[in-house]
A and B are shown apart, each in its own frame.
Chain A
Amino acid sequence: MAWLGKSVLRPVAITVSVVAFAATLTSSALAQGTLRVAITASDIPLPNGQTDQGAEGMRFLGYQVFEALVAYDLASADKPVTLIPGLATEWSVNPDDKTKWTFTLRDGVEFHDGSAFDANAVIWNLDKLLNQDAPQFDPRQSAQGKGRIPTVVSYEAIDNKTVEITTASPDALFPFQIAWIVMSSPAQWEAVGSWDAFLNAASGTGPFTVEEYVPRERAVLVRNDNYWNPDRTPKLDKVILLPVADSSARVAALRSGQVDWIEAPPSDALDSMTGAGFNVVSNVYPHVWPWHLSMLEGSPWRDERIRKAANLAIDREGMKVLLGGLMAPAQGMVPASSDWFGEPEFKVTYDVEAARALMAEAGYSKENPVSVKAIISPSGGGQMQPILMNELIQQNLAEIGIDVEFDVRDWNALLANWRAGAKDPTTDGAHSTNSSYFSQDPFTSLMRHVDSRLEAPKGTNWGYYENAEVDELIDTIRGEFDQEKQLEAIQSLHEHYVDNALFLFVAHDVQPRVLAPNVKGFVPAQNWFQDLTSTYID
């Protein structure tokens, strides 16, 4: 048998030698200023302008390569993000006709292909989203962008540097909406001939240009040395985006030195990563993880006492420990540090005795509980760790006499019901749904959930909350162009949310990410979007 052993072992030995030799080769040398980012999406966001892959797509590709007329001020980690001039230096509403907005465009801005950014480019880009007869109309970008500017009815170039956009009715929140709409290069699109070709030759005005785009594998962004704003010229040479959907794979990639930055690490890996010298970076941002309550006949949540009791029964600090510190306890729809928080009288704290007293007032106790059914999901974008968090809520609520039955649904199925509303048969007797909310502006954050004119399926008032006073406040916010008065109205609306405990306020995500020790200069803004221009590799 010796001959057999030799004949089998020889090729094995050769194979092992080859593999060992291959293993000794170091990965291709990367320039010092190259940042490799593992994103959570399973695909590279489309580099066409109005990217896909949700907020992450806009965060890492959309706003790095392209820009909007109005920008977010992402330079600070300490204050809520406000709007600042982007490709427009200023904007104003016509005092005589508040449906007309005038934007003055920035001088000296060029697209990556060298063509000039001007009023015609803005009109061309609006046509790409809104005008189905325009040759550059792109259904993919339209699906991402049209819904962001629902009130736009017309637009025109007044001169080379001035654009007028008309909305269907006065809308003081329009600057928030137009901040979503980024500009792709008309000249480049003309040169390459189609949006599919544009993906491989993307051209915007942003601080990074796209050097390489390989679907589902990587996008390589390089510094735009001709960027119009010298204060924001990137320090990095390159950013490589890698889609790594699995959270454990992202951790392994960071620990093995394949990437320098990972998004959304699993909470159980944080201690070991911090111990290994990696930097866990997080900050509160406009996101809320609530139970959206049904106000329909038969829902126990119609009783304000039960709503307030439930809000007082949740041990949010305990939940924070459970999540490895990666959440901020919610005291309302927006973080308490937000300008929109106001001064609500009802304080969302952890007070089981007060909660039990309210339940007793409502006729319930631990021995005589009220039953509620809650739609939840096992996972989903922005959902944090929904099973873990909901099980804790279930335990907390049981302590004060609320028996929770879960209706666990796939994230997509939950979203489909959320669009359809609590009255839809798919709700199947549930009294709440647990969809985390994006809250970048007053509309998405506060108005859309409680506007009686936006009851589902027309809008996203899932719970059919109706209150004339609230509708009036919403009209005020939309119609008030004096920023201080508008802020007062927003604060009043948020105070109404909290004082009436309209939702079960649970948590704000803190957008955790982990950076290799040599990644420096990153400022985690309180926002969905982030600025990579200050980041560098030490």
Chain B
Amino acid sequence: MICFSLVQLAPGDPLALVLPTDATQEMINATKARYGLDKPLSVQYGYWLWNVLQGDFGTSISTGRSVASEIGNAIGYSLALAGLASLIGFTVGTGLGLIAGYQVGSPVDKVASAISISGVSIPNYWLGIVLVVIFSVNLNLFPSMGAGTGSDMTLLERLRFMVLPAVTLAAAPAGIVTRSVRALVAEKLSMEFVNALRAKGLTEPQIFAHVVKNAAPTALAVIGVQMGYLMAGSILVETVFSWPGTGLLLNGAILQRDIPLLQGTILVLAMFFVSLNLLVDIIQPLLDPRIRRS
């Protein structure tokens, strides 16, 4: 309801970009009636909610296509991008975090910390532009925008289009995961059970496995939340790279005041965020029985 109200309260007329600038009042009224925009807000909310419950997200004002199909087309792209970004963020973050956690205070730790702080602090749209300048414009290694123009592209060709946006998107979660894993590993290594394992004569790889197992549930929670952010928060990165996912869809919907599309996309992304958190909550007890008991 908050989302619905905020979208409705934003200034601007959703029909302004659909109708010709010299549209007659009769045309404006007819178009408003067609989209139900002539009814009071409370009634519009009721209709919208009722239709959503039946799986009908309405029709985009700007394109006339169904909101469900618009989101359906875009969400695959966002999922792919968020998936690759999560993979990069998780791999880099966990790797750096483990190295730094094992060697707290060393030069390696300092470098890892510097990388993680940069990843968190640098605005991702700025990082995206810098990566484009270096890797697209100057080195011509990766495409700067879009998802490719051929329907018969190979997986590798598709990957080329994903590299820069995925790396850009991965920077912040990589930083957060690094810091979390580093802290967790350093904490676990200082715990008595590690000393006990060493005393029992376990090898370093065996001890490492125990440390990872103990640190995994918390790291998973962090990664799960980050994945949710990647899905919902990729609007700037997708815009910079013209990546046809939900972020770009949202951007267009905002600029065009396409209220049904805006509401539908926000709702789906919010559901994704909640579902991911739920999934993390379900997986965590499987990895750590102590959580189940508590």
Q: Which A positions have Cβ atoms within 8 angstroms of B?
A: 1, 3-5, 8, 11-12, 15, 19, 21-23, 25, 27-28, 36, 38, 42-43, 46, 52, 54, 139-140, 143-144, 146-148, 150, 196, 212, 214-218, 220, 240, 242-246, 248-249, 252-253, 255-258, 409-413, 415-416, 419, 438, 444, 448, 457-460
Contact = CB atoms under 8 A, between A and B. Distances in A.
Contacts of A255: 136-137, 144
Given A8-B98, A244-B242, 16 more contacts: A1-B102, A8-B95, A52-B18, A140-B64, A143-B20, A216-B74, A217-B149, A220-B149, A244-B146, A245-B252, A246-B239, A246-B242, A249-B239, A252-B133, A460-B21, A460-B22
Contact of A245 (B13, B163, B251): B251
Contacts of A246: 239-240, 242
Contacts of B103: 1
Interface string B98-131: 1100110000000000000000000000000100
Contacts of A216: 73-74, 244, 248-249, 252
Contacts of B92: 12
B150 A253 contact: no
22 contacts: A4-B204, A8-B98, A12-B95, A21-B156, A22-B157, A27-B157, A42-B256, A52-B62, A52-B63, A146-B27, A147-B20, A196-B65, A215-B70, A245-B255, A246-B242, A248-B129, A253-B143, A256-B137, A258-B145, A412-B13, A412-B17, A459-B22
A150 B24 contact: yes
Q: Which of A196, A245, A419, A459 has the most chain B CB atoms closer than 10 A to its own CB?
A: A419
Contact of B156 (A8, A22, A54): A22
B11 interface: yes
B8 interface: no
A147 B22 CA distance: 7
Interface string B130-168: 001100110011111111011101001101100100000
B242 A245 contact: yes
B25 to A, nearest CB: 6
A143 B160 contact: no
B12 A416 contact: yes
Contacts of A410: 10-12
A415 B21 contact: yes
A28 to B, nearest CB: 5
A252 B102 contact: no
A215 B22 contact: no
Nearest to B163: A19
Contacts of B286: none
Given A1-B103, A412-B17, A460-B21, A42 B252 contact: yes
Interface string B180-219: 0000000000000000000000001100100000000000
Nearest to B152: A28
Nearest to A241: B149
A253 B156 contact: no
Contacts of B73: 215-216
A412 B239 CA distance: 20
Contact of B11 (A5, A258, A412, A459): A412
Interface in B202-258: 204-205, 208, 239-242, 244, 248-249, 251-252, 255-257
B160 A415 contact: no
A457 B240 contact: no
A189 B83 CA distance: 41
A415 B248 contact: no
B236 to A, nearest CB: 10
A23 B137 contact: no
Contacts of A196: 65
Contact of A416 (B13, B129, B146, B239): B13
A244 B140 CA distance: 19
A15 B27 CA distance: 57
Given A43-B63, A46-B63, A245 B239 contact: yes
Contacts of A243: 242
**Central interface residue in A150, A212, A459, by most chain B CB within 10 Å:** A150
B18 to A, nearest CB: 6
B95 to A, nearest CB: 4
Given A8-B98, A42-B251, A139-B34, A147 B12 contact: no
A490 B53 CA distance: 57
Q: For B18, B144, B241, which residue has the most chain A Cβ atoms within 10 angstroms?
A: B144
A494 B186 CA distance: 78
B63 A249 contact: no
B230 to A, nearest CB: 19
A236 B45 CA distance: 50
Contacts of A416: 11-13, 16
A193 to B, nearest CB: 17
B41 interface: no
A147 B252 contact: no
B74 A218 contact: no
Contacts of A257: 140
Contacts of B147: 217
Interface in B45-85: 62-65, 70, 73-74
B81 to A, nearest CB: 14
Contacts of A11: 91
Contacts of A15: 91
B6 interface: no
Contacts of B204: 3-4
A434 to B, nearest CB: 14
B44 interface: no
A3 B205 contact: yes
A252 B13 contact: no
A29 B156 CA distance: 15
A43 B95 contact: no
A43 B157 contact: no
Which one of B25, B31, B255 has the highest number of Cβ atoms from chain A below 10 Å of its Cβ? B255
A277 to B, nearest CB: 14
B144 A444 contact: no
B23 interface: yes
A215 B65 contact: yes
A146 B141 CA distance: 48
A227 B192 CA distance: 83
Contacts of B255: 42, 245
Contacts of B160: 22-23, 25, 27
Nearest to B16: A415
A419 B19 CA distance: 11
B159 to A, nearest CB: 5
Contacts of A139: 34, 64
A40 B257 CA distance: 17
A99 B32 CA distance: 32
Nearest to B252: A42
A212 B148 CA distance: 14
B274 to A, nearest CB: 26
B137 A252 contact: yes
A3 B20 CA distance: 67
A168 to B, nearest CB: 13
